[in-house]
Every structure is written in C-alpha cells, then in structure tokens.
Amino acid sequence: MTEFSDTVNDTGIRATGLWPATRRSTSLGLMVPVSEWHAFGGSPHFADILDISRTAAATGIEALWYADHFSFGEADETRGFWDAWTLMAAIAASVPDVQIGPLVACTAYRNPGVIAKMTEMIQDISGGRFILGLGAGWHKPEYDQFGIKFEPRVSQFEEALKIIHGLVRDGEADVQGKHYGANQAVNLPRSASGHATPILIGSSGDRMLGLLARYADAWNTCWYGSTEGLPEKIAKLDAACEKAGRDPATVVRTIGVNVANDGYTGSRGDPFRGDTGETVAFLRDLEALGFRHIVIGLDSCTPRSVAAFAPVVEAFYSGT
C-alpha cells in the first residue's frame, strides 16, 4: 500500500495520502450496479452482482465500487438499492485481490461508530483491501422515507467524520458533538491485515473540501463524460488544501466517468462514447490531469458488457 506521511503537522492537519499499490500510477475501477434503475437493465440480484464483480476482476479492473442508497424517486416511482455494507462483506469474501469500497457511504444513514466497526470487519474479511468512501448525502427523499434528519448535513458529517477517522485510523475516539458523540470509544478488535484504511471523501463543496483537506486521503468527483470543467474542480481542491495548510499533492485524486457501450440503457447521463482507442485516449487525458484512480460507470453493465470492456482495460494498462 502506497502512503504519504500520516502525521499531524504544525497546523493540526493530518497530512494523509494512503492508497493501495496499483499496477500503473493510475488505476481503473468499476461502479457495480446494485439498484433497480441502474445500467444492469433490470433488478440485479446477488448472483448477478457477484458475476459482474468477478468478471470485472478478471479483466484487470483493480477496484469494485458500490453505491450506498436506499432508493431513488418518490411515491410510486421509487426504485430501490441493495444494502451496500452487507453486499461488500459478501464480495470481500468472494472476490480476491481487488480493492472494494462504497462510492460513497452516506454518514447520516448509520451511527459513525457502526460505520467504523463495519469498516474494520470488512477490512479483516478482505485482508486489507477496503477503501472507505464517505459523503454527506444529497437525495432528500431517502432521508424523508426513513425518518433521517436531512439538515444540517455538513455539520453532521463533520462530527461523524471525526469519530470515524479516530476509530478507523487510531482505534479510538472521544468526540462530544451536537449530533453525534463518542465517549472514549475504542474500535476493537482490529483487522489482522494490519493495513490502515484509506478514507476517501466525495464532494466539491467548499466546507466538505475543507474537511477533506484535514482528514481524508483521497478525493472523488463524479460523474463525467468529458474533461470539461475538471481543471476548475481540481483548482478548487488545491485551494482548499492550501488554505488548510496541506500539500495538495498528498491528496489522491479519483474520478467517476460514465461510459456508454452498444447496450446503453440511458441510466447514466451524458456518457463518453467511443471505440477502444478513443476510450483509452479519454482515460489517458484524465490521467494527465492528475487522477490516480478512474471509476468506470459502464452503461450497460452486465457480465457480458464488462467482459467486452476488457480490451480497453488491457490497452490502458499496457500503454498501447
């Protein structure tokens, strides 16, 4: 696992930059469909999700990502998602070698101590292959359906992040907040892997980027079908790091991109479209912008379409 320093600097910022060792300086991941509306073209069940995950790993994809939602839509238009955490535990036990993580886990849906405990368990199951993606959430109907308070999202996230970071990275947390608390809490037992868990935050909001600069290893921005607007997003991240007193180079930059294939379902808007060479060129453009991990939102996303994406993966990694 590649890492930068994990020490607190003189501004009180934990200058982290943990990330798994990869075959190339920029690696590829896959967003695996887990919902009724997604690019699978129907409602995937565990056998389908496992098949897609195994197929992706066989192509050379290095990370598998899973959405953390309850549902999309309202009333009679609601479409549901499978629970990400129990799913990731099963995938961790069934698919070796690849990294696994939520993109991203909403901290409002579960107590932060529970998130830390689940993280440690999956880290142990996977042998140190888990990446913890976190976010503040955004889809208010989900909150309303399950009686979860929507605002103040970022303030709630900040308290949850402090607790999760302490428990996951240091094994303990003592945080007294307005929304959450941890009273000399300890995260035991610890994963036998001995690997520290990378923490990724998905957001481009000003306050969230400030928290990312203080606590996170990696940043995610998504979903794109071109490079348009990305330099501005990157500059915003860099400015947040500099304001916090952190070297921007210690933040691992990740991105989610939508890619259409012949079976395009329309569930992923404004996707990139191109043949193998054009798709590889697009991925190389993202690499040139400084992204170290690219999550492919493939549409359609079935075992067959993932297998058909293998030439892109091979060409990207081979440098051809």
pLDDT in tens, 176-226: 999 999 999 999 999 999 989 999 999 999 999 999 999 999 999 999 999
User: Looking at residues 272-277, what average pLDDT do you find?
Assistant: 98
Is residue 21, in this structure, part of any structural domain at all?
no
Is residue 184, in this structure, part of any structural domain at all?
yes
Is the pLDDT score of 37 beyond 80? no
> Using an 8 Å Cβ cutoff, are 122 and 89 in contact?
yes
According to DSSP, residue 191 is labeled P
What does the alpha-carbon distance between residue 140 and residue 149 come to, in Å, rounded to a whole number? Answer: 9
What does the alpha-carbon distance between residue 140 and residue 71 come to, in Å, rounded to a whole number? Answer: 10
pTM over 0.85: yes
Is residue 145, in this structure, part of any structural domain at all?
yes
% of the chain at pLDDT higher than 70: 94
User: Looking at residues 298-310, what average pLDDT do you find?
Assistant: 97
Predicted local confidence at residue 79, as pLDDT: 86
Q: Tens digits of per-residue pLDDT, 92-140?
A: 999 999 999 999 999 999 999 999 999 999 999 999 999 999 999 999 9
**Which of 230, 2, 200 is CA-nearest to residue 102?**
200
Is residue 129, in this structure, part of any structural domain at all?
yes
Predicted local confidence at residue 12, as pLDDT: 52
Predicted local confidence at residue 320, as pLDDT: 61
Is residue 218, in this structure, part of any structural domain at all?
yes
Give the lowest-confidence range in 42-51, 75-84, 233-242: 75-84
Q: Going edge to edge, which strands form the sheet with 63-66?
A: 99-102, 63-66, 27-32, 293-299, 252-260, 218-224, 199-202, 132-135, 105-106
Is the pLDDT score of 308 beyond 90? yes
What are the structure tokens assigned to 244, written together? 């916090």
User: Looking at residues 78-83, what average pLDDT do you find?
Assistant: 91
Is the pLDDT score of 240 beyond 50? yes
Amino acid at 244: A
How does 20-51 read in b/e, with b if 16+ C-beta sit within 10 Å? bebeeebbbbbbbbbbbbbbbbeebeeebbbb
What does the alpha-carbon distance between residue 160 and residue 16 come to, in Å, rounded to a whole number? Answer: 18
Mean pLDDT score of the chain, rounded to an integer? 94
Predicted local confidence at residue 40, as pLDDT: 85
Q: pLDDT band at 16, cuts 50/70/90?
A: low
Q: What CATH number is attached to the domain comprising 247? A: 3.20.20.30
What does the alpha-carbon distance between residue 264 and residue 57 come to, in Å, rounded to a whole number? Answer: 22
- Please tell me the total count of domains within the chain: 1
% of the chain at pLDDT higher than 90: 87
Per-residue CA distances from 170 to 5, 65, 166, 185, 201 (Å): 15, 25, 5, 11, 18
Is the pLDDT score of 73 beyond 80? no
Is residue 68, in this structure, part of any structural domain at all?
yes
Predicted local confidence at residue 5, as pLDDT: 39
Domain range for 179 is: 27-318
Amino acid at 204: S
Predicted local confidence at residue 123, as pLDDT: 98
**Cα 320-57-273 angle, rounded to 5 deg:** 50
Predicted local confidence at residue 28, as pLDDT: 99
**Which of 32, 50, 1, 56 is CA-nearest to residue 313?**
56
Is residue 3, in this structure, part of any structural domain at all?
no
Residues in the chain: 320
User: Looking at residues 45-73, what average pLDDT do you find?
Assistant: 97
Q: pLDDT band at 13, cuts 50/70/90?
A: low
Is residue 7, in this structure, part of any structural domain at all?
no
> Using an 8 Å Cβ cutoff, are 108 and 157 in contact?
yes
What does the alpha-carbon distance between residue 154 and residue 249 come to, in Å, rounded to a whole number? Answer: 25
User: Looking at residues 150-173, what average pLDDT do you find?
Assistant: 97
**Which of 311, 305, 217, 195 is CA-nearest to residue 261?**
305
Q: Is 72 left (phi over 0), alpha (psi -120 to 50) or beta?
A: beta
Is the pLDDT score of 3 beyond 60? no
